[in-house]
Amino acid sequence: MPPFDQVSERDKVIDAGSHPCGRCQVGEIAFCTGLTAGEVARLATVVGQVHIPAHGTIFTEGELAAYMFSLTIGTVKLYKLLPDGRRQITAFLFPGDFFGLALEGNYAYSAEALTPVVTCRFPRRKLDGLLEDVPRIEKRLLGLAIDELAAAHDQMLLLGRKTAREKVASFLLMISRRAERRGLSVSPIALPMGRSDIADYLGLTIETVSRTLTQMKRDGVIALPDSGHAELRDVPELKRIAEGA
Amino acid sequence: MPPFDQVSERDKVIDAGSHPCGRCQVGEIAFCTGLTAGEVARLATVVGQVHIPAHGTIFTEGELAAYMFSLTIGTVKLYKLLPDGRRQITAFLFPGDFFGLALEGNYAYSAEALTPVVTCRFPRRKLDGLLEDVPRIEKRLLGLAIDELAAAHDQMLLLGRKTAREKVASFLLMISRRAERRGLSVSPIALPMGRSDIADYLGLTIETVSRTLTQMKRDGVIALPDSGHAELRDVPELKRIAEGA
DNA sequence: CGTATTATTGACCACTCTCAAAAAACGTGG
DNA sequence: CCACGTTTTTTGAGAGTGGTCAATAATACG
């Protein structure tokens, strides 16, 4: 386990003067989408850029929510814990995703880097002033929150009502869809998370995830070149499985 | 099943001139909280009030999201369906709760009245203009969305990682907490939803919900005067059960 | 009251979990 | 580059929680 202060040790907050947004690779799909150059410039005055190593903690549930984040490079998982250690991963995040949304108070979940991560970091205190001046930013945040809410509802349907096979099919399609949106390949997809993370995302055990994947491999709907990649060989069939048909 | 046009048949849209907000019973905890009298007056110019009978559909998943709602009287359930009819209830709503939030596009879930319902209805088109003028309203919407998101994350933890007993205990405490917030009794609580709705909310079957409740009754942690009410006889123990301790 | 609906209870079953071991992948230092 | 230990993944056997099917009981409603 990484020490709790690993984040701050490795923080490399880039001065706003260097305009990190200018070289941003994910501007088209990220938080900043739809904002004018001027508005982005305003945002750039308060943004910092943070580097976090793989397995590093970005923030912890219950902690004062001092920052909001927009992921630039890497993969992040969000999760909640029960007192006895049972874990539910509520989301996997990829470049362009926003997280840590809170108007006041504390984070409702923990965030951890799956891979080395680079993320934009907006201090909530400084953002507050901006929201008054640039209402479009607030509207953008509202839109992001609504999208997250829709994803959360889908996940509730998955967790409460889908079988293991349906869950795994839904998961593979979700990863594929999100890769496509970022301009990556739809079919050989990368799975930067381990079986344990997949299990905690789907409300299953590692063993059931592994067995279900090998079953799908036997059925020819997917191939597994290695445990970190999956080839979706029959996407229509996967979609049929995912929806319970 | 109620006919699909039942809502429009029973719609009684009250003219804005009659200022329904002035007599609002839930102003302290609802959408309008924290807004000035002037801002509420602006809202009142676009709000309509709608009556829906028990079991009436308020809107359906996939439908164009033309309105947002603030519940005044009654209980509402939100749910999503799989093609084969499996259902996941994502929330139960009580007076003061907001629903139908969408900036554009379609509803992500269906909404149905459990009891006779009275709800404020804001046309999204007219609200759009208001949001420009009164940024505080937008901030309020963002706050509501963030609260909903936190509730959704809790529910994901429940659905993915809690046992039947833990789920039922969590459910009873949730209803009790929400009743308390509206100034109602904490312990004999009303359960306006049937066993089938509880099951679809917790990702269980009716039989398991029923068995778990009778088990808890045998254990003395609750009493069931009738199927529509529950007495929480040992709240600390229920909390221990709900958190898996 | 009789009928329909909903809730409870019972018997049995299966999907997924638990526990355990083997296999594969990974990292590290010699 | 390989040997070694560690971690992760896969596979197996068995068990249990919650599901399915079915019958009874209670409740609501004409």
Q: How far apart are CA B66 and CA B188, in angstroms?
A: 38
What is the residue type of A52?
I
Q: Quick one: which of B70, B89, B69 has its CA closest to B79?
A: B89
Mean pLDDT of chain B: 89
**Cβ contact, residue pair B82, A161, below 8 Å:** yes
Does the pLDDT value for residue B183 go beyond 70?
Answer: yes
Asked if strand D comes closer than 7 Å to A30 Cβ, the answer is no
Once rounded to an integer, what is the mean pLDDT over residues B190-202?
98
Give SS3 for A92. Answer: strand
Pick out the nucleotide with least CA–C1' distance to A206.
Answer: D9
Residues 201-230 of B with CB under 7 A from strand D: 203-205, 207-208, 226-228
Q: Quick one: which of A129, A204, A194 has its CA closest to A166?
A: A204
Q: How far apart are CA A144 and CA B36, in angstroms?
A: 27
Which residue numbers of B have CB closer than 8 Å to A's CBs? 80, 82-84, 86-88, 90, 101-103, 108-109, 131-132, 135, 138-139, 141-143, 145-146, 148-150, 152-157, 159-162, 200, 202-203, 243-245
| Beta-bridge partner residues of A232 | A222
H helix intervals, A162-234: 164-181, 195-202, 206-219
Asked if strand C comes closer than 7 Å to A196 Cβ, the answer is no
The residue of chain B nearest to residue A87, with distances taken between CA atoms, is B161
pLDDT for res B17: 46
What is the residue type of A55?
H
User: How is residue A99 written in tokens?
Assistant: 């997280």
Once rounded to an integer, what is the mean pLDDT over residues B212-233?
97
Q: Which residues of B touch A243 (CB under 8 A)?
A: 82-83
Strands A87-93 and B117-123: unpaired
Neighbours of B159 (CB within 10 A): 24
pLDDT for res A23: 66
pLDDT for res B176: 98
What is the residue type of B240?
R
pLDDT for res A131: 84
Closest Cβ–Cβ partner in B143, B160, B245 for A203:
B160
Query: How many contacts does A have with B, using Cβ atoms within 8 A?
Result: 124
- Give pLDDT tens digits for B15-59: 444 556 766 777 777 888 877 888 888 888 889 999 999 999 999
Closest Cβ–Cβ partner in B103, B149, B161 for A143:
B103
Confidence of residue B179 (pLDDT cuts 50, 70, 90): very high
| Beta-bridge partner residues of B189 | B230
Pick out the nucleotide with least CA–C1' distance to B160.
Answer: C16
Q: Quick one: which of A240, A146, A151 has its CA closest to A201?
A: A151
Does the pLDDT value for residue B150 go beyond 70?
Answer: yes
pTM for this prediction: 0.92
Rounded to whole angstroms, the distance from the CA of residue B208 to the C1' of nucleotide D22 is: 15
Q: Which residues of A touch B86 (CB under 8 A)?
A: 161-162, 244
Asked if strand D comes closer than 7 Å to A108 Cβ, the answer is no
Q: Which residues of B touch A65 (CB under 8 A)?
A: none
Phi, psi of A162 (to 5 degrees): -100, 150
Q: Which residues of B touch A68 (CB under 8 A)?
A: none
**Cβ contact, residue pair A82, B139, below 8 Å:** no
Q: How far apart are CA A36 and CA A33, in angstroms?
A: 9
Neighbours of B154 (CB within 10 A): 17
- Give pLDDT tens digits for A224-242: 999 999 999 999 999 999 9
User: How is residue A152 written in tokens?
Assistant: 């959360």
Closest Cβ–Cβ partner in A88, A145, A245 for B157:
A88
pLDDT in tens, chain A (245 residues): 333 333 443 444 444 445 567 667 777 778 888 788 888 888 888 899 999 999 999 999 999 999 999 999 999 999 999 999 999 999 999 999 999 999 889 999 999 999 999 999 999 999 888 888 888 888 889 999 999 999 999 999 999 999 999 999 999 999 999 999 999 999 999 999 999 999 999 999 999 999 999 999 999 999 999 999 999 999 999 999 999 87
